[in-house]
């Protein structure tokens, strides 16, 4: 089983990337959070991997942190949560956000995830309530960083899909949100963030 890949990032697209290890390109599916943290091609990257073997395929799922991988494993133990939904949850909520949402019984946070309906939310909260407290929360978000939820989270996700790394996108989104103020529309934040990134690029 493949548990770790260290190699050159050959490309990124929505939902996956290709990691070249000694001339072999591995297709790795990942959350937008992990994809945003990958360096731009052709830089070297280290990705933790969960290998899923099916009758018709061997699938690789990549993670930037052990906390995210551990949550992926736990989420997929819940009936109705496959790998795609689990990655969707991890794209919308960081491990720290997941711990908080489940502990608080926050249905709203979970229903924002594509593919997660009201019935599945109840199942997630019920089955994971006793397990969430023992799960890793991951690194704390620094005081100056934008929240991963709401408009900032949506903007960061969109920028990740356009190929920007989280490390370069976060400061741009933070500056734009500060300039536009509360209540800024996500499309305006994305547009101005792209201008900010282009200016500084």
If asked whether residues 79 and 46 sit together in one domain, one would say no
Tell me if 85 is assigned to some domain. yes
Tell me if 137 is assigned to some domain. no
18-67 pLDDT per residue, tens: 999 999 999 999 999 899 889 888 999 999 999 999 899 999 999 999 99
23 CB contacts (<8 Å, ≥6 apart)?
none
For the chain, what is the domain count? Answer: 3
Could you tell me where the beta strands, DSSP code E, fall in the chain?
A: 4-13, 16-21, 24-30, 44-53, 58-63
If asked whether residues 77 and 99 sit together in one domain, one would say yes
91-124 pLDDT per residue, tens: 999 888 888 888 888 898 898 888 899 999 999 9
If asked whether residues 9 and 56 sit together in one domain, one would say yes
Could you tell me where the beta strands, DSSP code E, fall in 87-146?
A: none
If asked whether residues 53 and 89 sit together in one domain, one would say no
Question: Would you state the pLDDT for residue 104?
Answer: 87
44, 63, 82 - which closes a domain: 63
Tell me if 140 is assigned to some domain. no
Tell me if 138 is assigned to some domain. no
| Tokens encoding 104 | 């608080």
Tell me if 52 is assigned to some domain. yes
Give me the domain span that covers residue 108: 66-132
């Amino acid at each position: 089983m493949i548990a770790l890949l260290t190699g050159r990032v050959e490309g990124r697209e929505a939902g996956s990337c290709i990691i070249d290890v000694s001339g072999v390109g591995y297709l790795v599916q990942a959350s937008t959070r992990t994809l945003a943290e990958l360096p731009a091609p052709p830089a070297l990257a280290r990705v933790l991997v969960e290998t899923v073997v099916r009758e018709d395929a061997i699938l690789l799922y990549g993670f930037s942190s052990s906390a995210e991988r551990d949550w992926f494993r736990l989420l997929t133990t819940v009936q109705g949560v496959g790998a795609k939904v689990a990655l969707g949850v991890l794209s919308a909520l960081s491990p720290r956000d997941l711990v908080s949402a489940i502990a608080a019984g926050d249905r709203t946070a979970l229903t924002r995830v594509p593919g997660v309906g009201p019935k599945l939310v109840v199942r997630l909260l019920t089955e994971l309530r006793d397990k969430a407290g023992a799960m890793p929360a991951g690194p704390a978000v620094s005081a100056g960083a934008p929240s991963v939820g709401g408009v900032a989270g949506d903007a960061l996700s969109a920028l990740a899909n356009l190929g920007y790394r989280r490390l370069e996108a976060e400061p741009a989104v933070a500056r734009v949100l500060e300039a536009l103020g509360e209540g800024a529309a996500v499309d305006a934040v994305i547009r101005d963030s792209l201008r900010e990134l282009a200016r500084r690029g």
